Amino acid sequence: MITCGKDLDYMKSVISIGNQDFVSIRKNNCFYIDKTDFIREWWENQDSVTLITRPRRFGKTLNMSMTEYFFSVNHVDSRKYFEELNIWSYEKFRELQGSYPVISLSFADIKATTYESARRAIIRKLVRMYSQFEFLRNSEQLNEKDRAYFDSVEETMSDDAAAIAINYMSDYLERYYGKKVIILLDEYDTPLQEAYVHGYWKELTAFVRSLFNSTFKTNPYMERGLLTGITRVSKESIFSDLNNLEVVTTTSEKYSGFFGFTEKEVFNGEVKSVTLPGTSGVFSILPQHAPIVSSLQEGTVSYTTTDGEEHTLDIHSGFVELSNGEASVCVS
């Protein structure tokens, strides 16, 4: 098995199953495959609002976490976790790190059996968001009218008040920081899938349509918007007003290398031989080779499959372990 990771110390790195927090993975030296070029491509494409759909377990939430840590003014101190990754080789993006106000929400846990339960769960997300930015309430950038709305954001708020909550928070943040806001919404479609299954689709789509229109369409305080989900809900249902929406599905070439694993990142199969750039020199592993553990240096990994196809991969560093006839190669 050949697996690509990033900056791996084989004596310390572990595979963290289910960990979706970028900084936690980097801080604890867990295996990480560098997907930071997604940030660069997404930013340079300059799409106002992007919706990316992928199946479960394709790294959507981890990439959203990575994006938040990169851009958010609240995570300036996270720069050290990007310094050895691809994004850090671009001066323009080093300057962007930690420079934008970011609103980050997830609907992943909204799995309600009734409309009222789903509505309450979404509003709780909005209330929690306002709690996170409580420091804004008494700032000089807000007037008494702003504070009155700020105080009205509670679980008993009306649909109309809830619909404008993210829009108004974007306004407050832009005034405070002097920059427009990046809005991240992970697993946007989870409550909608539950609504379809449990029979309250019409009610929830009406509520969500108003929220999304105010957040992503008629929001002059938004710099960029990024949504992820499993499916693309029909445009007529909730996106009918969003003519600024770029939809990227599993069949799209756009961002195709940043969700899930590419063929170069993971290969699992039988091979005739593997040649690796060891720190003591290039060496090959053939059938019946004795068990070995070795660190790797910058160079080229090459392997020949049983049908004679030759493959190569340029690496920076890594390690190899051979045991019971199976070679595990982890590289950056």
CA pair distance 158, 229, nearest whole angstrom:
26
Helix (H, G, I), strand (E, B) or coil at 143: coil
Supply the CATH classification number for the domain 266-331: 2.60.15.10
Q: What's the pLDDT score for residue 235?
A: 60
| Crossing angle for the helix pair 165-177 and 115-132, to the nearest 10 degrees | 10
CA angle 184, 189, 193 (to 5 degrees): 165
Could you tell me if 190 and 111 are in contact, meaning their C-beta atoms sit under 8 angstroms apart? Answer: yes
Q: What is the pLDDT of residues 58-101, one digit of tens each?
A: 889 999 999 999 999 999 999 999 999 999 999 999 999 999 99
Q: What is the pLDDT of residues 25-61, one digit of tens each?
A: 999 888 788 999 999 999 999 999 999 998 887 889 9
Q: What's the pLDDT score for residue 8?
A: 38
Helix (H, G, I), strand (E, B) or coil at 321: strand
For 27, 30, 286, the CA distances from 6, given in Å and listed in that order, are 13, 9, 26
The 8-class DSSP code of residue 122 comes to H
**Strand (E) or helix (H) holding 192:** helix 190-198
Q: What's the pLDDT score for residue 164?
A: 98
Domain boundaries, the chain: 34-248, 266-331
Contacts of 154 (CB under 8 A, 6+ apart): 127
Q: What's the pLDDT score for residue 11?
A: 38
Mark the ranges of the chain whose per-residue pLDDT is less than 70. 1-16, 234-236, 261-267, 331-332
For 105, 271, 281, 325, the CA distances from 288, given in Å and listed in that order, are 52, 13, 21, 7
CA pair distance 232, 209, nearest whole angstrom:
14
Fold (topology level) of 34-248 = Rossmann fold (3.40.50)
- Burial string for 112-124 (b: 16+ CB within 10 Å, else e) reads beebebbbebbbe
Q: What's the pLDDT score for residue 228?
A: 96
**Whole-prediction pTM value?**
0.79
CA pair distance 7, 29, nearest whole angstrom:
9
State the amino acid at position 295 in one-letter form.
S
Q: What's the pLDDT score for residue 4?
A: 35
Q: What's the pLDDT score for residue 5?
A: 39
CA trace torsion 259, 264, 268, 269 (10° rounding): 150
